[in-house]
Structure 1
Amino acid sequence: MNILKSSRTVMCAAGLLMSALLSACGGGGDGRDPILGVNAAEVASIAVTPATATLQVGATRQFTATATYTDGSARNVSASAAWTSTVPATATVTGGTGLASAIAPGSTQIGASFGGKAGTATLTVTLAPTLTAIAVTPATAAILVGGSQQYVATAIYSDNTNAVITGTVQWSSSSPAVAPVSPNGLATGLTLGDTIISATSGTISGNAVLTVAAILPLPVLPVVPAPGAVSLGAASNFAVLAGTALTNNSGGTTVIGGDIGSPSQTVDPVQLPGFVNYKSGAILANALNDLQVAITDANSRTCTVSSAAGIDLGGRVFAPGVYCYAGAISITGTFIMNGPGVYIFRTTSTLNSTANAVVAMAGGASASDVFWVPVGPTTLGANGAFKGSILGQSAAITVGDNTTMLTGRVLSAAAVTLQNNQISK
């Protein structure tokens, strides 16, 4: 009898224990912990991260939903949350993952709901930058028959970023009999002449001028101490400087690799990243002042060659020196500077180049050591390639359509006119 009573007692105790365990596993029917007698933790808030994000059309971004509970704990609930986008036409979001996909430019709120709470993040969708220009460097070069020249193509995008795309563009030569160019931008000189080396991506192209020459004799010059470089002072940071007005064609493809300065500008040229356009202030004033100092310095140098007439430099090869002419300096065809050192060209008249004219460097000559100092106006013809810094004391400078100046500067105390040019100091 006692044994039977003890068995019943054990069974009742086991039943009560099982009931308590089952109630505990269920969290309590009244929302309270059945053992501790306190409320179970509830969702207090939902945070969606990142809180703000920007995507280009076609890109994706992973968002995360994190639940914070009333007991201070937190956990990732991205897989359980309900995801929404307020503007699905701008971006969609995948339920169960939080992966957003950019569809079209605009802004949308990415939301996540869980446990009766919700959180949002802001997603902005932008267009991918477009290719606006291709710079081919060197813009001008001269090689001998049998020599070669490696070209580099740099893409310039609508957001002013750039990237080297030498291996992905289509290379071509306007005169492959003079110098063909390989798919990697390596041109090889075959016969004497000039050719245009082009790099193309889609509808955008960039050009450079290559001259294939024979070994040409240098002119016999009097022995004069080699001139030192002309210091441009504060003007050295500028690729384009106009004391009165800068005119640039609207909707064109002008790209400037250097600071720009002018108090009056019709259309601001596109600049490569890292440079500034000054329209007033001390920096602009100092640059214009130092330009005059540089012109005075260049005009004070002893002439290596002095002539009462003018000269057409086309078809000639010059060594470093100071070349002084009372008449106009013209460039028809190709003019080559050969050898390291400073080149100064002065004229009391005008400086002009014809269409498709080329100023080229050879034998270690550097465009950064070339200074053109005309008293009268400068007019560069279309589709040319010019080298060196033009220092205009009081007359205008006009750069022809699609003419490049890499490396070069257009600095004038008067007006400057540009049209679809590439100029880098």
Structure 2
Amino acid sequence: MVRNQKMQVSTCYRWLLSLLVLLFITACNGDKKDPILGLEPIDGLQSILLSPADPSIAAGLSQKFVALGIYADGTSLDLSDKVVWNSATQAVSTINSQGIALALQPGTSVISASLAGKAASTIFTVTSAELTSISISPSDPSVADGLTTQFIATGLYSDGSTEDISTAVNWLSSDTSIAVMAADQTTSSGLATAVAPGSTQISASMGDLSASTSLTVTNAALISIQLNPANSILYVGVSQLYTAIGVYSDGSSQDISALVTWASSAPAIATIDNSSAAHYGEVTAQAAGTTQISAQLGAISAETALTVVNETLSSIVVSPLNSSTPVGLTRQFTATANFSDGRSFDVSRSVVWSSSDTAIATMNANGALNSGLATGQAAGVAQITATLNAVSGSASLNVNNSTLTSIVVTPVNSSLVVGLTRQFTATGVYSNGTSENLTSLVSWTSSNNAVAMPNANMTSNSGLVTAMSAGTVQIGATLGAVSAEATLNVTATALNSITVTPVISSVAMGLSRQFTAVGIYADGSTQNISHTVVWASSNIQTATMNANGTVNSGLATGQATGVVQITATLGAVSGSATLTVTAASLSSISVTPQNPNLVNGLTRQFSATGLYSDGSTADLTTLASWTSGTIAVASMNASQMPSSGLATGLSAGTSLIRAAFAGVEGSTTLTVTAATLVSIDVTPANASAVVNETEQFTATGTYTDGSLVNITDTVVWTSGNTAVAAMNASGQLNSGLATALAVGNVNITATLGAVQDSAVLTVTAALANNPQAPAMGELQRFVMIASQAITTTAGSSIADGDMAILDLARTAYAGFTPGAIAGQFTQLTNGVSYAPDDVTPPYVVPVPYASMVAFINQVRTDLGVAATFLAADPNPAAATQALPAELGGLVLTRGVYRNAGNVIIQQGDLTLDAQGDPDSVFIFVIAGTFTTGAPGGNIILTGGAQATNVYWRTGGATVMGSNTNFAGNVFAWPQINLGTGTAVTGRLFSVTEQVTLDANAVTKPQ
């Protein structure tokens, strides 16, 4: 029943397809018959859908159309190479037998496809927009000799639109002895192959227009290849994708999955694909046994064992179990297979997907990268089913006919440095109060493409904007007649330095550590450039780095014991950190939470924390092999995936949840109850926000067994007045987040089935010239955070907040006296302390996190986001003012103040005057050191000013003089040192180093 499918898109959503088309081109079945069923394409054909619907492009470009056959059993087959294509107006466009239409001149033509008496058509509009400029990305890359780099040419047109014209331009390398380009007007257009060390100019031209960039080919040699996953288990009939990472002599790494030659030592046990770009390294299990999966490039090769087992397929779980989408939009489903040995596997690309009613929803192609994607066609409820080896699972999709009323583009106001990128998100707000992520569907524009240029629309990275030159632009998102804008300020400041965090860390051999690169610029601003820098290890025998430019760039893996420098480089600027790889052995695994209850049909995230022989810990959640002892009661998500450790309750009972790694196992008991939802409690019950700010709501479900469950990402969120506030899309990690749009009151409602609850959000107008404060997230609970250490002498007292060490063990707390309960200190009142090596029990993990490591990771993320936001220039809501080097004796009102050098408060006290408005925000950005001390050095709050609304962002060391009074939240890039007797009302956060106390009183403001 496997048939490749493409979605139908209604006219008002005609921009949906371009991204999906590319995926389906690679998945198209060129045989006359369905490869699994052997069916002729006319057997059971009910209708044909064409996508994209009603597209428009500029003359001279081409458009790929897909003809999707919808069959009586709810499955679909890509018929693009089987139908008869026709363009009604040949002077406007022509179309070939593969569905590729060439736009010839402005006008419209009807594109049609027919087969066996079934037909479909769509309108193809060719515009008169003229190409005005070309942009090439990436800019000035480097690549090792023998590797390839894919360049993208983006065309900017006179109507403000952008298009990917990589296959339409003529590509040229100025020195073919350095690098050669693939043939033009092919699927490989823009692909450069390095043939010798040196530098060459890569240019793309069309007519009289051209653009160029430099490609540097290094003499780095391939040293080794790493294969992922290693030593894995697979089930007969299931597929799995392998990746090959090349490790080079300069310490860098590259994904070479498309370059290596893949092989299986026993094809009768498992075959591996070398034939298509979407399937390089894809293994399909054929029969029980063991085979070696190998990858070779030149003289370098690597192999790993694959064990294929023929366990019985017990069940398939389709998630999300219940979801909804408006007509014309999509919902991604996942199929997880549970086998008789308790293991689970993601089989989304192996199952046959079908819809119970293709008039309501159609399914994407089986076997494609986005198999399981359903598209709403008409209002109603359809059952989405996944079938493998006669075993099926299903979920419900409710398609509603709500209409798009508005779009919210975020971030609303942001800043960016020339040469870097910023991802924008478009959230659609619908007439029923729900919201959907439309980032890949809208048309993105920039008010001035010379300042900032969006990526070509409908691509995998739609909404990604590149800063071109200094200035301010409006980034727009449009779908049909609905549009919205956000403001982006681009600065041309120079990169001064790069900070790599954690500065000092350790990892057990075979495990990984994530590093982050932050660029510090001449104006004192900072940017996360982890995906832009080139990462390298000083000794690849000790540690290797993940491939550069990927989502997990900066991830180091320990290979052998020793100390290595991890370096991040951008242009001529570098930064580094120290990583120690230890030979510690795994002693035990702790699975948390311990012995939880779960309501049938809901999910619970488990975490596996490894305790090592040297006392260190590591998060093994995504590395461990997870099993459920009773798969009829609960199933686990596939192991070694981003969502590993997630359990789904299937029926009432108990199941032993196990996590195994390196021969060590940990477990806990999960009890699944048949409890039903009684009520929902939405908190906060009454919240307030100013226009353009956000408020996070939480939904807690109360069940008949008395259990309380966080169901924030399970409920459907709606806004009673979408003109006042819009909700983030439901079913996401950030569900429940409301964005304030206009002054007023609005009910925020969470619904699950027939049960719902509401809270009130009051939106007020922003104060004039009042800066926007950073989103604090988990930082709200803390009074003190440090990357490396927090130390104190006798006599310190800390109150009303928690403390955390982010990157070293609990031993980095020095001078503190442990309390009666784990995490408590006698010096800390109304708060607890956290560290990455805390194990549960005896330590308590904050709700709703599954492990201490997960919680610490979120705190680290929130700290980086807030610190970067504070350093940005300008602040979204207020212009920057100059900050004097000496603040003693000054009286300052709300605003953003910046100094590119060192600042002191000594010749008197600093007074912060809120002028009668307690919501006044004060932000101080100091690029250098910040020092307070005698004879002045105090900070005085007046006119209603509150310490919680005062923020200090310092690039150098922050030193507070003895016996002074300080107010505000300190985000110091390096260390914070308090003199003897200093009293602080505020928070002390050291992003990269330590906080040092000396008989101080530190109180978190309320």
TM-score tier (shorter): 0.3 to 0.5
- Structure with the larger RCO, 1 or 2 (CA within 8 Å, 6+ apart): 1
| Structure holding more strand per residue | 2
Structure with higher Rg: it is 1
* Greater helix proportion: 1
- TM-score, with normalisation over the residues of structure 1? 0.44
- TM-score scaled by structure 2? 0.19
